[in-house]
């Protein structure tokens, strides 16, 4: 009865709310006060007014929240850095100027190709495999940072080369003798190209990298069968076959596809072509998943493969390179394999060096890499040379008959624009000279030529005779000291392939 009376009292005091209308905070306080009064209870003490935060205190709160967000970002960054310590090694050679600055100072450039980013990709067996340190995959991936294109050149493991400090041996032995740094030196000499970085991965790391991106999609052009394919750990024989057509490959299948070389697999040359195909597919999948531009995903990828991958690309360079690679059009990727086909540049050298076993030599002659170097530079075009398009004339001042034509052929292969050749009356000059008629307007070309010919540079104004043909921008007076057929570093200590 008392409760009903109280309810009627409260109903009488309640505001007449319209359907769906909410009771305000002020009305609620009035109801509570009336209820206490009906019960004979004293009113509640008045609450002190709530103090609003001053702007300075609110700024502290905002700053704390911002620091929390920054802390999360930093934590992710630290995770990448800590993970990278297992992967990244010190670069003991020349880094790519293109990853240091968007616009390169000509004085910072080495030889032709230094305007690109040249990465040596090495594949090794790793622990548990016979000859686990031998680099049976040797590939140079070269990125043009200006036009956002990539070219890849595979070098067969059996190419017979001179290895500094170790005599002559198969090129895959360089990694066993002196690791990736020595291999960079040897490959750079063979290709006449600055090798800025290396990335080395063993079998297990390659499998884990493919699995980390959820596998790759590859179109196999022909049925493969290798009756001599080794089992895991290279113990015993486990024949491998794969039908022609489209395949989604996990890490295990991708590794077999990359290693297959006997039977219908096309020997080392077929294997190299499939490895290039897998590199393109792996890049595409990583970009689809934004792996290369997501720090946390990069850290997770490093976590999964960190014990099986090494590189001397430093973390800031890796991030810049990832941003460049993201813009590369896969359809513009150029691939080439050095081989011993009739149109190829290599031939068997087993008769010439019987003690070396099954080896390959340049068709131009043992340790003569001129043709290979011209091929490499026709693939890895330096954008600064192409952009300046300086016209060049070659003047032979050496006793070598017809030397001007041979020099012109080489420079043309290196993407220089040679427009004229001739011989000078005095053919006894030893040192080469470069004559610059551009007033310094072609600084990159002059820089490269000065280094190539180890020459002094002389400035000369162009002739103003309008009736005569325009003089080329640059004249190169070639002396006898210029070595056209560059070779790998000479050594005197004989070596055998380990």
Give residue 403's pLDDT.
Answer: 95
Same domain? For 272 and 395 the reply is no
Q: What is the CATH number of the domain that holds 123?
A: 3.40.630.190
Residue 88 belongs to a domain: no
Give residue 260's pLDDT.
Answer: 87
Residue 326 near residue 294 (C-beta atoms within 8 A): no
Same domain? For 150 and 272 the reply is yes
Residue 183 near residue 189 (C-beta atoms within 8 A): no
- β-pair partners for 143: 117, 150
Task: Give alpha helix (H) positions in 353-478.
Answer: 370-379, 383-388, 403-413, 443-453
Residue 289 belongs to a domain: yes
Same domain? For 357 and 466 the reply is no
Same domain? For 470 and 322 the reply is no
Domain's final residue, options 330, 358, 379: 379
Q: Could you give the CA distance from residue 71 to residue 82 in angstroms, rounded to a whole number?
A: 16
CA nearest neighbour of 187 among 163, 207, 214, 212 = 163
Same domain? For 457 and 371 the reply is no
Same domain? For 367 and 397 the reply is no
Burial tier of 2 (Cβ tally within 10 Å: 0-12, 13-18, 19+): exposed
Number of CB atoms found within 10 A of residue 487's CB: 18
Domain count, the chain: 2
Residue 51 belongs to a domain: no
Q: Could you give the CA distance from residue 257 to residue 219 in angstroms, rounded to a whole number?
A: 11
Domain's final residue, options 344, 379, 414: 379
SS3 of 426-438: CCCCCCCEEEECC
Residue 211, both tokens: 């699995």
Residue 247's SS3 state is: strand
Same domain? For 332 and 453 the reply is no
Q: Which residues of the chain have pLDDT under 70?
A: 1-85, 126-132, 233-234, 287, 289-306, 466-468, 486-498
Q: What is the CATH number of the domain that holds 431?
A: 3.30.70.2390
Residue 310 near residue 91 (C-beta atoms within 8 A): no
Give residue 22's pLDDT.
Answer: 46
Domain's final residue, options 352, 379, 406: 379
Residue 164 near residue 185 (C-beta atoms within 8 A): yes
CA nearest neighbour of 119 among 102, 100, 99 = 99
Which residues, 6 or more positions from 364, have their beta carbon under 8 angstroms from its beta carbon?
345, 370, 371, 485
Residue 319 belongs to a domain: yes
Same domain? For 356 and 425 the reply is no
Q: Could you give the CA distance from residue 313 to residue 348 in angstroms, rounded to a whole number?
A: 35
Residue 38 belongs to a domain: no
Q: Could you give the CA distance from residue 53 to residue 59 in angstroms, rounded to a whole number?
A: 9
Place of tokens 């008959």: 401
Same domain? For 193 and 325 the reply is yes
Residue 182 belongs to a domain: yes
Pairing of strands 417-423, 391-396: parallel
Domain limits for position 155? 97-379
Residue 317 belongs to a domain: yes
Give residue 393's pLDDT.
Answer: 98
Q: Could you give the CA distance from residue 67 to residue 351 in angstroms, rounded to a whole number?
A: 70
End-to-end CA distance of the chain: 105
Give residue 30's pLDDT.
Answer: 56
Residue 27, both tokens: 């009305």
Number of CB atoms found within 10 A of residue 291's CB: 21
Same domain? For 411 and 287 the reply is no
Give residue 190's pLDDT.
Answer: 96
Same domain? For 366 and 411 the reply is no
Burial tier of 368 (Cβ tally within 10 Å: 0-12, 13-18, 19+): middle
Same domain? For 218 and 290 the reply is yes
């Amino acid at each position: 009865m008392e409760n009903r009376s109280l309810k009627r009292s409260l109903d009488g005091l309640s505001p007449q709310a319209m359907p769906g209308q909410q009771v305000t905070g002020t009305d609620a306080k009035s109801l509570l006060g009336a209820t206490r009064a009906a019960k004979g209870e004293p009113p509640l003490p008045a609450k002190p007014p709530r103090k609003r935060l001053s702007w300075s205190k609110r700024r502290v709160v905002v700053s704390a929240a911002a620091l929390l967000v920054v802390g999360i970002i930093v934590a992710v960054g630290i995770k990448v850095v800590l993970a990278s310590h297992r992967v990244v090694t010190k670069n003991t050679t020349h880094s790519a100027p293109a990853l240091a600055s968007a616009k390169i100072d000509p004085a910072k450039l080495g030889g032709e190709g230094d305007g690109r980013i040249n990465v040596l990709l090495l594949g090794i067996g790793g622990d548990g495999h016979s000859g686990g340190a031998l680099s049976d995959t040797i590939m140079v991936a070269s990125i043009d940072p200006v036009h956002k294109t990539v070219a890849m050149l595979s070098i067969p493991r059996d190419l017979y080369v001179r290895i500094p400090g170790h005599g002559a041996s198969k090129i895959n032995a360089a990694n066993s003798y002196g690791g990736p740094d020595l291999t960079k030196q040897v490959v750079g000499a063979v290709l006449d190209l600055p090798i800025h970085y290396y990335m080395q991965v063993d079998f297990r790391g390659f499998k884990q990298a493919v699995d980390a991106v959820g596998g790759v999609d590859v179109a196999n052009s022909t049925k493969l069968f290798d009756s001599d394919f080794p089992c895991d750990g290279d113990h015993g024989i486990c024949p491998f076959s794969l039908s022609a057509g489209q395949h989604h490959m996990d890490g295990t299948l991708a590794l077999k596809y990359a290693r297959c070389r006997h039977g219908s697999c096309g020997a080392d040359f077929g294997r190299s072509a499939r490895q290039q195909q897998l590199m393109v597919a792996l890049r595409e999948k990583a970009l689809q998943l934004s792996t290369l531009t997501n720090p946390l995903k990069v850290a997770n990828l490093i976590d999964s493969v960190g014990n099986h991958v090494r590189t001397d690309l430093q973390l800031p360079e890796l991030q810049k390179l990832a941003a460049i690679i993201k813009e590369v059009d896969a359809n513009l990727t150029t691939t080439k394999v050095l081989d011993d086909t009739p149109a190829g540049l290599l031939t068997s050298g087993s008769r010439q060096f019987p003690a070396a076993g099954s080896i390959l030599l340049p068709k131009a002659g043992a340790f003569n890499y001129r043709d290979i170097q011209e091929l490499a530079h026709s693939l890895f075009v330096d954008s600064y040379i192409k952009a300046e398009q300086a016209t060049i004339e070659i003047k032979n001042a050496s006793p070598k008959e017809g030397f001007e034509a041979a020099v012109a052929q080489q420079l043309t292969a290196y993407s220089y624009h040679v427009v004229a050749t001739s011989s000078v009356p005095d053919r006894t000059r030893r040192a080469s000279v470069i004559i610059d008629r551009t007033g310094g307007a072609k600084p990159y070309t002059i820089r490269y030529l000065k280094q190539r010919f180890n020459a002094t540079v002389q400035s000369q104004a162009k002739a103003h005779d309008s009736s005569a043909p325009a003089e080329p921008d640059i004249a190169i007076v070639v002396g006898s000291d210029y070595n056209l057929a560059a070779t790998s570093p000479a050594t005197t200590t004989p070596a055998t392939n380990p």
